[in-house]
Chain A
């Protein structure tokens, strides 16, 4: 159990390709930090640098207050759960879990006690004598977890551990990992590209994009106040509507590229003439009964009926169909059809402004 601190960590491959461009993260003891981002954003590289599987080009990684840059993976006292589980196929489940302890010279009875304890926690008692290939995906995942917890390491590292499981099992394992991590209180770093996993598991969420940590905060803070257009588009499903435009004169709000005007309430507007991206989440658009209370009229082009929700795709009536495309999340009992015109209001204070040039939040 220990803190994990990254300070300006960089990774350059072959002196040219910069995969991680100076990331600093502080993970307090016992907390779970999730690194999320699209493929190739450097999240896995960062994790492998913490594990000691990848050399650190620049900056420092500390575990428990000690800089571990020059330490090998074994000396860092961490445990890692891999995407493909990386179970030793020729060893029984018991030996898979005992392997790390045996290498460290743990006494035999102590190994046996710890392996059985871990198997008990994970419900693997009946499978200890089996080989990995005789187990289902979820059971293999548990063995991989068991191999990590028997060692009682300073930190757990998870590299997309659930992406090889089917959707139902993924949801179930996600909850198990969360409660296990809570009850053991082990500092964890979890890499995923799945935003649901990211939102539900994280104490601290790090959204990464092309080697940079775009935003580091609690999941809710990131959802409510995304620091950049990238974060805004990445977190939330369906993704946030982002409409290009510029601040109009006479307090008319934002003049969208297609010509329509939108005026979000309770939102401080920047100076007139500035090019912005107006961001509104689909769930923050509300259907109003009276056209006079509406902020704009949406012409519906496509409807997706999901049961609980209905997603309506469309564009403002007086706007350009291509550049000002929007998605609205409506309650499932609302009847909407292709070609309808819906009067919509943006929820007060729920609009986001981003600078069109830098993509940063205004």
Chain B
């Protein structure tokens, strides 16, 4: 343990972390506690009377078929988004690592999509694949494929998965490129001398050494797919057709702000919060054990 720097001033350290605490407090702890509080209350339709109902909201939510459906939708959506976004980004990063001319330009172009707001990204994809006016929809139909995400749930799902994954690829790409650069070139050379071909080198040397990056991105991508994809879903499908693309976070919004069932919505967001905490804990507890840090 290295010697710690100590500050004689007792107030300054707290003053320095105060802005961060204020932000976290206002934008996380306060709303989270409000949600917790709301989740045990029930309001009448006009918001005039509020009664304490204990865990009734939770019981109600967990027995709803639409909630179970939403759980399944979220599982499919999140796994697909995280897997696609990470594997495509890894592939692109490995290829970018080989580019010699115009490396900077190529990377910059790869990172740009990250700067696009989720709702805008959703709109772009919506336009491209809109059954009446979308270029890609037109191409799909002329190729003989009956494309209509406005009516077909699975197609709508594919569309939002593609849009959400596409948006996250840039971010993952950035981290994978950095991760690849951190692998000493001599290791690759030693493996080449040891008779490992390109594919073998990737799976036996590069991929294991990228594990810390991959693990970090797995955590980030899971939370992204759970929460940050709201804008895309809202812009592209609005949870439809039917309830085919209604993920948990979208259902929280829909039940709470559209249907105004505040108690249910709050209970759902509490469940969602617990789920993500549990998921992250599991990732750290079990997956991280397999990760080798430098």
Contacts and interface: CB of A to CB of B under 8 A. Distances in A.
A103 B194 contact: yes
Interface in B148-202: 184, 186-187, 189-197, 200
A53 B189 contact: yes
A73 B200 CA distance: 15
Contacts of A108: none
Contacts of A147: 190, 194
A89 B186 CA distance: 12
**Counting chain B CB atoms within 10 Å of each CB, which of A78, A79, A103 scores highest?**
A103
A51 B193 contact: yes
A90 B191 CA distance: 13
A151 B195 CA distance: 11
B294 interface: yes
Contact of A79 (B191, B193, B204, B211): B193
A103 B193 CA distance: 10
Given A53-B189, A84-B186, A103-B200, A89 B194 contact: no
A168 interface: no
Interface in B247-279: none
B54 interface: no
A89 B292 contact: yes
A12 interface: no
A148 B200 CA distance: 19
A105 to B, nearest CB: 9
B93 interface: no
Interface string A139-167: 00000000100010000000000000000
A104 B294 CA distance: 27
**Counting chain A CB atoms within 10 Å of each CB, which of B189, B195, B211 scores highest?**
B195
A131 to B, nearest CB: 8
A155 to B, nearest CB: 11
B186 A100 contact: no
A90 B193 contact: no
Chain A residues touching B, range: 20 to 34
Nearest to A159: B186
A147 B195 CA distance: 12
Interface string A70-82: 0011100011101
Contact of A74 (B184, B193, B292): B193
Nearest to A133: B294
A99 B192 CA distance: 11
Given A74-B194, A99-B194, A104-B195, A82 B209 contact: no
B294 to A, nearest CB: 7
Contacts of B294: 89, 133
A86 interface: yes
A230 interface: no
B193 A99 contact: no
A88 interface: yes
Contacts of B292: 89-90
B187 A88 contact: yes
A133 B192 CA distance: 22
Contacts of A104: 195
Contact of B196 (A52, A84, A90, A103): A103
Contacts of B194: 74, 99-100, 103, 147, 151
Contacts of A151: 194
A74 to B, nearest CB: 4
A52 B193 CA distance: 8
Contact of B184 (A78, A84, A90, A133): A84
A80 B208 contact: no
Given A89-B292, A90-B208, A73 B196 contact: no
Given A90-B208, A90-B209, A99 B196 contact: yes
Nearest to B187: A86
B205 interface: yes
A133 B294 CA distance: 8
A53 B192 contact: yes
A72 B190 contact: no
Contacts of A90: 208-209, 211, 292
A74 B192 CA distance: 6
Contacts of B186: 82-84, 86
A99 B216 CA distance: 28
A86 B189 contact: yes
A78 to B, nearest CB: 7
Nearest to B292: A90
A142 to B, nearest CB: 15
Interface in B202-258: 204-205, 208-209, 211
Contacts of A79: 193
A73 B193 contact: yes
Contacts of A52: 193
**Counting chain B CB atoms within 10 Å of each CB, which of A78, A88, A104 scores highest?**
A88
B208 A73 contact: no
Interface string A84-104: 101011100000000110011
Contacts of B208: 90
20 contacts: A51-B193, A53-B189, A53-B192, A53-B193, A74-B195, A78-B193, A84-B186, A86-B189, A88-B190, A88-B191, A88-B205, A90-B208, A90-B292, A99-B194, A99-B196, A99-B204, A100-B194, A103-B194, A103-B200, A147-B194
Which 10 A-B pairs have CB atoms at the shortest separation, nearest pair first? Answer: A100-B194, A103-B195, A86-B186, A86-B190, A74-B195, A90-B292, A73-B193, A90-B208, A73-B192, A82-B186
Given A51-B189, A79-B193, A80-B190, 12 more contacts: A53-B193, A73-B189, A74-B193, A74-B194, A82-B190, A88-B191, A89-B294, A90-B209, A90-B211, A99-B196, A147-B194, A151-B194
